[in-house]
Amino acid sequence: MIIKDFVVDKDTDILALTETWLPPSGNDLIIGDLCPTGYSFLHTPRHGSIGGGVGLLFKESLNIKRNVQEVFRSFEYLDSSFLNFLHIRIIVVYRPPPSSANSLTSTLFFEEFSSFLEGIIVSHGQLLIAGDFNFHLDNPNDPLTKRFVDLLASFDLKQYISGSTHASGHTLDLIITRSEENIVNHYNIFDPLISDHSVVHLQLLIRKPKFVKKHLLLRNLRAVNIHKFKTDVLNSFLLKNFTTMDLVSLVNEYDCLHTILDNHAPIKSREITLRPKAPWYTNEINDKKRIRRQLERKWHKTRTNADWNRYKQQCYAVNKLIDSSKSAYYTDLINNGSSDQKTLFKTVSNLLHTNTIIRYPSSPDPMSLANSFSDFFTQKIVKIRGDIEDELLSKNIENPIPDADSCPYEFHTFREVGKDEVLHLIQRIATKSCSLDPLPVVMLNHCFKDILPVVARIINLSLESGTMPDSLKIAVVQPLLKKYNLSYEEFCSFRPISNLKFVSKSIEKAVAVQLTDYLTENYLHEKFQSAYKPCHSTATALLRVQNDILQALDNGDSVILVLLDLSAAFDTVDHSMLLTRLSKRFGIRGRVLDWLTSYLTSRKLFIRVEGTDSLLSDLDCGVPQGSVL
């Protein structure tokens, strides 16, 4: 919290940190508290033990990217590149002091750092190395200092810092560039009492970055007159004629409801600047900071112990006030919002930083990025399926799935779904809006009782005819990072999550309920399946596995556990194999099989990234992740 306030207070563009003490994983909360709005953080943790680690906090508009790194024993570092106005390679270094505990030596450091410099000295762009090297450069007679200075000179590197950077009075924190590069305008050293190291404040000869701007397309739904909106919906062509329409016409007319919303809340474009914000910041904090600055200036002028102590006490008072103010702010929010689950969830999400900023691979523009994602996901499936086919051919396997015994039961016709059941089904569907829906959930809720008969008719016409309209088989896909610690520069770090129309999910839910009832009543569920099965979960799977292992051990048997992770399992499902298996193994026939065939075939999707859509792609295999079925 103190570092975050320092960055905002000084309008810092880049902050290099050493000894971050961040673990390799499970640090989202710490990093979230560290980053002001509009900033990003990269770090290299120490592996194998606590302590150490280096990081770089920077404005997102600087477009700083991590470079591929080697691993050295004697020092830790973060290698990054700044690619906006100039190409600058920024490297943050921390050299732990050698000791018997870490088995490090100065000789090892000079060998490894010399090898490291050989690799980076010829790199493209300007070079800036910053960090804590733990050499006393204030003592030119120290043998290690001499050796380090000679090493820098041999690579024609310049070290800028002179003066104490540590509470002990030594110069430990250094700034290094190539001798011919004049990237550093000037620097000063001051102690904000954040740690036992002072801040080395640089002014670089590059253009100061602006905060990131974001373009939004918004509707002012709060300004909508709900009574007039509902009246227009009731008077629409859809509500007056839905009982006489066929399925396709009904779905198309339902999609036209967006024209009513456009009249009441037209889409408007707005540009916002992502600036650091602290809603708990008070006038009292501002006043305390003003006093702190006055005391700091006075101490710089007099350099007396008395003025230093007064300045130090004021720093502690400001830091304590910031912490207590933030705590009081969120305590008040939680207490006042305890009866409002939405507000409470949002507050907790902000505190835990679960609403992380989505980042994607570098690309010249959003359209190119969206199409690149589309091509990657498509080619990934093509490659996996091709590899499977090649494997089967090489082993002369013609039928990879043995023929199952014919099912003695049949499910060939869906029953009609009443309006009350439709209402119950829809209440069990997640109320997340899809951008393809004509009405967002918040507006749909205002007139849902009026639209319910329309939705019920669409569902029943779909089940009765055994078809799923093509317009309901289009998915908007958002790439999501598989794990928070994966590189967002790699397409393989993302998985495609489909978002489907509300009506599509409503039909799917009606089908899913009837299919599940049929499987349950006739004991057709897979015996050992825990996923996508009522009253089952990962917990039941773990309990079963644990019980089987314990029983085997009690019987004196050996246990071997084989775990299989299928790559893109949902996306590579073969439609013909699935339909054949449903027919033979589970007795799915008639209109039910027709509907499932229609549901799986002629599906399309497009990728949406930063509000920009890719070209439509055909989905020839697989089932959409994010769907009900």
Structure tokens at 468: 């799923």
Q: Does residue 338 have a pLDDT over 70?
A: no
606 or 84: which leads in pLDDT: 606
What DSSP line would sit under 34-85, residue for residue? HPPTTEEEEEEPPSSSSS--EEEEEEGGG-EEEPP----SS-EEEEEEE-SS
Does the pLDDT at position 506 exceed 80?
yes
Minimum mean pLDDT range among 32-36, 40-44, 242-246: 32-36
User: 262-295, pLDDT tens digit by residue?
Assistant: 999 998 888 777 766 777 778 888 888 888 888 8
pLDDT single digits (tens) 170-204: 999 999 999 998 888 889 888 888 888 989 999 88
Q: Which of 380, 450, 461 is nearest to 414 (CA)?
A: 461
H/E run at residue 8: helix 2-10
Closest CA to 417 of 389, 458, 466: 458
pLDDT (mean) for 456-475: 95
494: which strand partners? 481
The predicted model gives 564-591 an average pLDDT of: 89
pLDDT band at 129 (very low <50, low <70, confident <90, very high): very high
Task: Give per-residue pLDDT as tens, 43-77.
Answer: 999 887 888 899 999 988 888 888 888 899 999 99
Q: What confidence score (pLDDT) does residue 485 get?
A: 63
Residue 225 pLDDT exceeds 70: yes
Mean pLDDT, rounded, for 443-452: 89
Q: In the prediction, which pLDDT does 484 show?
A: 64
pLDDT at 365 over 80: yes
pLDDT at 402 over 70: no
pLDDT classification of 85: cutoffs 50, 70, 90? low
Residue 133 CA to residue 197 CA, distance in Å, equals: 12
Cα 527 versus chain centre, distance: 36
pLDDT at 1: 67
Give the tens place of pLDDT for each residue, 475-499: 999 998 887 667 778 898 898 888 8
pTM as predicted: 0.71
Beta carbons within 10 angstroms of residue 600's beta carbon: 21
What is the pLDDT, as a whole number, of residue 512?
92
Class of domain 1-204: alpha beta
SS3 labels along 278-313: CCCCCHHHHHHHHHHHHHHHHHHHHCCHHHHHHHHH
Domain ranges of the chain: 1-204, 283-352, 374-412+475-497+528-628
Which phi and psi (to 5°) does residue 65 adopt?
-120, 145
Q: Residue range 454-480: average pLDDT?
A: 94
Look at residue 337 in the predicted model and tell me its pLDDT: 65
Confidence of residue 355 (pLDDT cuts 50, 70, 90): low
Residue 418: pLDDT band by 50, 70, 90 thresholds?
A: very high
**For residues 346 and 337, what is the distance between their CA atoms, to the nearest angstrom?**
10
Q: Compute the mean pLDDT over every residue in the chain, rounded to the nearest whole number.
A: 87
Which whole number is the average pLDDT over 160-178?
91
Amino acid at 423: L
